[in-house]
Structure 1
């Protein structure tokens, strides 16, 4: 029971990572918040906030998650465009038919209407294992990337950091390591057969921290996650291309 409570506390720490005040133009999600409430209180459209934060599921925001609520440099909110396109379309049903048709003509979309890529993470990682990627991040069913290789293949720290968890108390992850790199970024390494470091230890980028295995999974693989302020983000955006 004590081990489970400790693991639950760790998960809360991971989810709430980065609880310091956020800067102007950003908002930290609180319990009970919805995206529409956040958009309304900041006088933005839900579509704009989804685009600025590269959200894959607007109905799945997490407590502690930090959202941009003002346009990024060079972009504009679509809230004004939505209001301008939404009015005046129903008037002039008789002799004014030509004007009604003109008013219903879609106006040019604002410059930022195309989906914009999320900014690259402000952390540089190395590949934690030499293997083949068999599953990539999608933000919903996959919160990281899965890499397969031979049993016992060395797993290395993707960046310099401190071990904040080393154990097997989190169901579905097997033998798991979590490294904290600064106040905003964590990396997680799951399904190892052996852990080479302990909680509280400092590790260097490229240092061996584990050996690949198949604990709590049906094949030998490393499940690798990158978290920014408690939210899973695509680790491949911080990794060198292969």
Structure 2
């Protein structure tokens, strides 16, 4: 007469009857399973599975049906409250210098361009006495001789901009006069210079800037 232990009885019963349909919260032990691996895959602790199945230790048998309760292996993620996303601050644009439109004070060739160091304007070549025109409308604030500049004419156009015309042979306007853009205000010369030319400067708030971008 054969006496079967309970685990052996389950193994023989499963081998004879094939796969047993599993109910909800049940798990059938497979080769290679341990109580720890089953607990991890079902979201339970080893102690919980032992209590659910009245196991006195970690011994399990292939084919054994274990109660594991509802699976907690992949719990639904908790819904996080939506945090309003603040809009990025609008970029702060740097204030730009107000534009000024100039005309060429003379149509002669440019002998030397602006570099901001040795030349704070542009030098324009031409014949002695050639007409020099106001680059923009404004008011004459200086018309006299300055060392290094010869006969110098300065026209203020607004609170920010002024233009300067140096090395003139003669000046046709006087301080305080209002002039129009394109008006003949001087004659080209070589006063304060070793050659006939016009030294032309554009100044913004007193600082010399390159006049070329403002000329047509």
Using the size of structure 1 for normalisation, the TM-score is 0.50
Q: What secondary structure is seen at the aligned counterpart in 1 of 2:200?
A: strand
Match of 1:124 among 101, 108, 117: 101
**1:63-89 deviation line (CA, Å, top 9, x unaligned):** xxxxxxxx863x9xxxxxxxxxxxxxx
* Runs of 5+ consecutive residues of structure 2 not aligned to the other structure: 1-90
Larger Rg, first or second structure (1 or 2): 2
Q: Aligned runs of 1:80-229 on 2, under 5 Å?
A: 122-168=99-145, 170-229=146-205
Could you list the runs of 4 or more consecutive aligned residues of structure 1 that deviate by over 6 angstroms after TM superposition?
none
Whose strand proportion is higher, 1 or 2?
2
Cα 1:219–1:200 shift into 2, 3 Å: same
User: Aligned partners of 1:130, 1:209: CA distance in 2, in Å?
Assistant: 15
Deviation at 1:120?
Answer: 7.5
Whose helix proportion is higher, 1 or 2?
1
Q: What secondary structure is seen at the aligned counterpart in 2 of 1:167?
A: strand
* Runs of 5+ consecutive residues of structure 1 not aligned to the other structure: 1-70, 76-118
Deviation at 1:172?
Answer: 0.4
User: Aligned partners of 1:225, 1:201: CA distance in 2, in Å?
Assistant: 20
Deviation at 1:136?
Answer: 0.4
Deviation at 1:130?
Answer: 1.5
**1:109-143 deviation line (CA, Å, top 9, x unaligned):** xxxxxxxxxx6761000000120000000011110
Cα 1:215–1:183 shift into 2, 3 Å: same
Contact 1:135 1:145 in 2 (8 A): yes
Q: Aligned runs of 1:46-65 on 2, under 5 Å?
A: none
Partner of 1:236: 212
Cα 1:197–1:140 shift into 2, 3 Å: same
User: Aligned partners of 2:117, 2:99: CA distance in 1, in Å?
Assistant: 22
User: Aligned partners of 1:216, 1:121: CA distance in 2, in Å?
Assistant: 33
Number of equivalent positions? 126
